Amino acid sequence: MRCHTNLSLHSQFSFKIPLDIINSTNIMAVGDDMQHFFPNEKFTDLTIYQFGRQAAMPGYKNILSFNHFIFHYIYSGKGTLSYRVEKTAKIQSFPVEANQGFMMWPGINSTYQASEDDPWEYSWIEFEGSKAKELVFESGLNVYNPIYSSNDANEREKMASALSYITNNPKDPPLVLMSHFNMFMHHFVTSSDLRKHPEDETLQEFYVRSAIDYINKNYMNDITVCDISKYCSLHRSYLHRIFKAVLQTTPQNFLIQCRIDNACRLLRTTSNTVKEISALVGYPNEQNFSRAFMRTMGLSPSNWRKEN
C-alpha cells in the first residue's frame, strides 16, 4: 500500500494493525491510511509523538512542515532532502542513502523525495521535549547539516534496532516504547559522526548550553532574555547572535517555545485553568500567555486543550 499524507502526517507501517485496536484512541484511520499516535502524557523531558515505516515508490515526494523534530533512518535505497533555512535563502539539497538518516526541523517546510532508480525504505519518528534540542545539538546535526551518518557500525545498528522495535511494536506499553526510544536517542547521539564532545565544544556552544540549562530550570519564573544574558555574563546582543549561529533561533523564541511546550503538557495532563497554567509557565499575565500560545500553536489554549 502506498502511503499518502494527511494533515502533515505520513506513514506506512510494516506491521499489520489488528482489528481490535482500530478503534483505539492511539489509531486514526482515514480511508486506507493510518497514523500511530503515542500516549505521551507522562513524558515531558523527551517524548514520542508519532512513528512509522515506509517503502516509497520511485520518485515519491513529500512536502511537509511539523512542530517537532522528525528523524528518518534509511534502511535501503536513496533520496534527497531539500528546504530553505530562511525564506530569502536558496533551497539547499542533501542526498541521503542507506545507513544514513536526516533530521527535519520544527517549523521548516521540507521536501524529501525518493530516488527514481533506487527508492528508499525508512523508519521515521517524531519527537519533542525539554531535552530534545539539547540531544539534537549534541549529535552535531543542525539545519545547515541535517544528515546523520556514522562510521561506528555497531552503534549505528543499535540505533536502527531500537527504532525498528518501536515501529514494529506499537501495542507495547508506553514505558516499554519509551525505554527503546531512550536507547535510540542514546545511540543516535553517540554514533553520530558529527557528535559534539565536551572537549570539542566552542566557547559559543558552551554559553548556549549554559543558557539552555538556565531556561529549562527557570522558565516557570518571570525571567527575561536580560536575566539569561546576566546569568551567562554576556551582553544581550551577543547572546542573540550566538543563539542564531548555534541553534538558528533567538533566546526569546527558545524561551517562548519552552514555556509553550510545558503549557501544552499541563493543558493535556491537568485540570488546571488557563490562568493557573499561565502562571506555572512564567506568564503572570494571562492575556500575554494566550497571545504567545496562539502565535505558536495556532489555537487558543482552551481550543488546543479541547482538540488534544
Quickly state the pLDDT bin for 86 (edges 50, 70, 90).
low
Q: Which long-range contacts (CB under 8 A, 24 or more apart) does 284-293 make?
A: 284/222, 289/263, 292/256, 292/259, 292/260, 293/260, 293/263
SS (H, E, C) 157-195: HHHHHHHHHHHHCCCCCHHHHHHHHHHHHHHHHHHCCCC
Mean pLDDT, rounded, of the chain: 82
Quickly state the pLDDT bin for 87 (edges 50, 70, 90).
low
The pLDDT of residue 276 is above 80: yes
Q: State residue 176 phi and psi, 5-degree precision.
A: -70, -45
What percent of the chain lies above the pLDDT cut of 90? Answer: 51
Closest by Cα among 5, 122, 109 to 71: 122
pLDDT for residue 24: 30
pLDDT for residue 1: 34
pLDDT for residue 204: 83
Q: State residue 193 phi and psi, 5-degree precision.
A: -65, -20
Helix (H) or strand (E) holding 255: helix 251-269
pLDDT for residue 307: 84
Annotation: CATH topology of 19-191: Jelly Rolls (2.60.120)
pLDDT for residue 286: 93
Residue 67 vs residue 17, higher pLDDT: 67
| Residue 121 half-sphere exposure toward CB, CA atoms < 13 A | 7
The pLDDT of residue 182 is above 90: yes
Alpha-carbon distance of 149 to 193, in angstroms, equals 6
The pLDDT of residue 306 is above 60: yes
pLDDT for residue 28: 35
Q: Same topology for domains 19-191 and 201-307, yes or no?
A: no
Q: Which three cell numbers stand for residue 247?
A: 541553534
Position 31: which residue type? G
pLDDT for residue 22: 25
The pLDDT of residue 145 is above 60: yes
The pLDDT of residue 29 is above 70: no
The pLDDT of residue 152 is above 80: yes
The pLDDT of residue 107 is above 80: no
With contact defined as beta carbons under 8 Å apart, do 38 and 48 qualify? yes
Domain boundaries defined on the chain: 19-191, 201-307
Closest by Cα among 93, 51, 53 to 74: 53
Q: Which three cell numbers stand for residue 284?
A: 503572570
The pLDDT of residue 3 is above 90: no
Strand-pairing partners, residue 119, are 78
The pLDDT of residue 114 is above 60: yes
Quickly state the pLDDT bin for 33 (edges 50, 70, 90).
very low
SS (H, E, C) 80-98: EEEECCCCCCCCEEEEEEC
Residue 291 vs residue 196, higher pLDDT: 291
pLDDT in tens, 39-84: 444 445 788 989 999 999 999 998 887 778 999 999 999 999 999 8
pLDDT for residue 109: 86
Q: Mean pLDDT throughout 4-14?
A: 32
Write the Ramachandran bin of 99: left for phi over 0, alpha for psi from -120 to 50, otherwise beta.
left
The CATH superfamily label for domain 201-307 reads: Homeodomain-like (1.10.10.60)
Alpha-carbon distance of 304 to 86, in angstroms, equals 28
Quickly state the pLDDT bin for 232 (edges 50, 70, 90).
confident
- Cβ burial, residue 191 (10 Å; 0-12/13-18/19+): buried
pLDDT for residue 4: 32
Closest by Cα among 258, 257, 277 to 269: 277
Quickly state the pLDDT bin for 210 (edges 50, 70, 90).
confident
pLDDT for residue 10: 35
Closest by Cα among 153, 167, 162 to 98: 153
Put the strands of the sheet holding 92-97 in their side by side order. 61-64, 110-114, 78-83, 92-97
Q: Which three cell numbers stand for residue 143?
A: 539545519
pLDDT for residue 90: 81
Alpha-carbon distance of 106 to 49, in angstroms, equals 13
Alpha-carbon distance of 219 to 283, in angstroms, equals 9
The pLDDT of residue 198 is above 80: no
Q: Mean pLDDT throughout 269-289?
A: 93
